[in-house]
Structure 1
Amino acid sequence: MTDTKTIEFVFDFASPNAYFVHKALPTYLADHDVEVRYVPALLGGIFKLTGNSAPMVAFADIKGKMEYEHLEISRFIKKHRLSNFRMNTHFPVNTITMMRGATFAQDKGWYMDYVSVCFEAMWEGSLLMSDPEVMTKALEARNLDAGAILAACQEQTIKDRLMQTTHAVVQRGVFGIPTVFIGEEMFFGKERLAQIAEALA
């Protein structure tokens, strides 16, 4: 009998690439005895702490770069059959409330339900999830207690924990999202999924 391995997935609902990893990672892990631990962290906070920036900002002046980024996204969607993906028309969306909700939900039995609802609302439903009413409707549609979640998002302990987690992942070397850790070995980007599977072999 083999021991179950744990990998950590550092995510923010703000990132379409994090959505892609969320959806595609299970396929790569199907042949491995692995537990995935979802680690919520603020992408904006990571950028601020590391001096990084979003591709649309970093590559804005590089001719052809963003067009190629879009081509790579199209290829990824086709390869992994992610036909439900829709670029959020409100992008960029402030996800701090959703991420505080994820921090609150981490030790709850419905954590992964919450994660799935938020990713799908953002990157399939194209919803403005920074609007509390929109977020409430999305959560309640999946039988999650939106009132309790939104109330928890205002608690200082939850706010502090999310900031602490964000600082902690940066200390481990994270400079962007999506990032996956196998132990202390780091893999950045949706293009590393095959490498993750190989590292688990």
Structure 2
Amino acid sequence: MAAPLKVEFHFDFGSPNAYLAELALPGIEKRTGVTFEYIPVLLGGVYKATGNMSPGESLRGIKNKPEYNALETERFLRRHNVTKFTMNPFFPVNTLALMRGAVAAQFEGVFEPYFRAAYNHMWVEPKKMDDPQVFREAFLSSGVDIDRLIARAQQDDVKKKLIDNTSDAVARGSFGSPTFYVGSEIFFGKDKVREVEEEIVAQLAAGQRKTA
């Protein structure tokens, strides 16, 4: 029997585009039957390794391009019926603690509530999540046992896993967020979620033909 198709979502909570793209994933999972693997990476580390920069930096001072970028975001919001999105007024936020927390939450089996709370406090009810006190109080308000995860995030295996995820993503071709992998095929950007779904459907069909 063929191995199930591996589909991955590489994310950093600091990327508004990754937040928006993720909102489309449950629909893709429902329609195709796949389950995305959520891979925490440190976007700052990806940028450093690739010489890339955030859209906020790369669009600064350019005529018309930031306006078009905003237009594309509005189109995405409408297409996917996104009603809960607020640009974080503290952007860019240092996400090291958030991303180590995500790895710790995966190790501790509480990733889903941690993930939802983190995105809520970054892009729905945005806060300065690189302030340790704000960070702690935000997660407590969402019912997350954050003190346990803060302690767990200081362990070497958590720190190493985040570094390894980040360097592995770069080695496989990643240069920003959000990045998706469908098998070995890489896709970048929230505007590629339809292509991601098309590739999933194509690879699943090819897999069925091989086993038929």
TM-score of the superposed pair, with normalisation by structure 2: 0.89
Query: Do structure 1's residue 77 and structure 2's residue 71 form an aligned pair?
Result: no
Query: Do structure 1's residue 46 and structure 2's residue 46 form an aligned pair?
Result: yes
Q: Hey, what's the Cα distance between the residues in 2 that align with 1:125 and 1:4?
A: 37
RMSD: 1.7
Q: Go from structure 1 to structure 2 and tell me whether the alpha carbon gap of 1:161 and 1:109 turns closer, same or farther (over 3 Å shift).
A: closer
Match of 1:123 in 2: 123
Match of 1:179 in 2: 179
Q: Gaps (5+ residues) in structure 1? A: none
Q: Hey, what's the Cα distance between the residues in 2 that align with 1:2 and 1:19?
A: 32
Q: Hey, what's the Cα distance between the residues in 2 that align with 1:138 and 1:60?
A: 31
Give the deviation of 1:78 after TM superposition.
1.7
Matches within 5 A, 1:160-199: 160-199=160-199
Q: Gaps (5+ residues) in structure 2? A: 202-212
CA radius of gyration, larger in? 2
Between the aligned residues of both structures, percent identity stands at 39
Aligned partners of 1:4 and 1:33 also within 8 Å? no
Matches within 5 A, 1:103-142: 103-142=103-142
Code of the aligned partner of 2:54: A
1:128 partner SS: coil
Match of 1:32 in 2: 32
Aligned partners of 2:93 and 2:130 also within 8 Å? yes
Bigger Cα displacement from structure 2, 118-127 vs 139-148: 139-148
Code of the aligned partner of 1:63: K
Structure 1 segments of 4 or more deviating over 4 A? 1-4
Aligned partners of 1:3 and 1:33 also within 8 Å? no
Match of 2:208 in 1: none
Structure ranking higher in helix proportion: 2
